[in-house]
Amino acid sequence: MLSARIRKRLRSLQLDGFPRYLEYLVNEADEEEWVQLINVVSTNVTAFFREPHHFDELFKAVKQWASGGQRRMRFWSAASSSGQEPYTMSIVIRRALQAAGRQDTDAKILATDISTKMLSMCKAGQYPAEALKPIPNDERNRYFQLDRSTGNYQVSPTLRQMITFARLNLAEPPYIMKGPLDAVFCRNVMIYFDNHVRSNICDQVLRLLKPGGLFMIGHAESLQGPQLKEFVRIGASMYRKK
């Protein structure tokens, strides 16, 4: 499957094989070609409300923070893919703020991805009806509207205005954000990196998270190494910074 994806670049550049493409990448390619390569090889499997227990915990935390008087909250979807994760976060955050009676809270989400293609889809915020099935009916009707020209459903401005989109390579710290962040979702992406890169990512998350902030990772991932002592495991693939 990977070779078939890379062959798309060979055809586009009219190159006659993988060795020639490797030579091109090393000696001739500009940044745009590397972006194109990333776009074709990136794996993007996501869904609304994927791993629901993460969003249950996010709801509880946001409601507690808002009820306790916190009026500014910042969140990060580190590998946002085509947008289902950050839009789910925005739905849940709004739900929690409403439950706390604090809809005036300044809550923002940063959504990043290495793939410009995925970021474009994320910004567009259009999804087929099948993709919306995990969303509760009332929130689906409130936050998504049918675009009859495409047959897809468009995310409402209410959700979109909470999110800032940016390209970011997690393997190249330090990151531009300063923090503090209330919660970081970095799910199903660290499995693609070696231990050194995973450790660097965790160092950056540790730097950015506030004490008591949430760190959500993928169900097949776990925290290891020296950073582990800085977190408390609060559930399956869920951690809280001490």
Phi and psi torsions of 92, nearest 5°: -70, -40
Q: Which member of 5, 7, 142, 207 is catalytic?
A: 5
232/127 Cα distance (integer angstroms): 36
Compute CA distances 161 → 13, 157, 196, whole Å: 38, 6, 35
Amino acid identity, position 2? L
Is 56 known to be catalytic? no
DSSP class of 170: T
Task: Render 42-102 in DSSP notation, one character per residue.
Answer: ------TTSSHHHHHHHHHHHHHHHHTT--EEEEEETT-TTTHHHHHHHHHHHHHHHHTT-
Residue pair 164/57 in contact by the 8 Å Cβ criterion: no
Q: Counting beta carbons within 10 angstroms of the beta carbon of residue 28, is it exposed (0 to 12), middle (13 to 18) or buried (19 or more)?
A: exposed
Q: Which member of 9, 74, 102, 113 is catalytic?
A: 113
Identify the three-state secondary structure at position 151. Answer: coil
Number of residues that make up the chain: 242
What count of Cα atoms within 13 Å lies in the side-chain half-sphere of residue 33?
Answer: 15
Is 5 known to be catalytic? yes
Active-site residue set: 5, 113
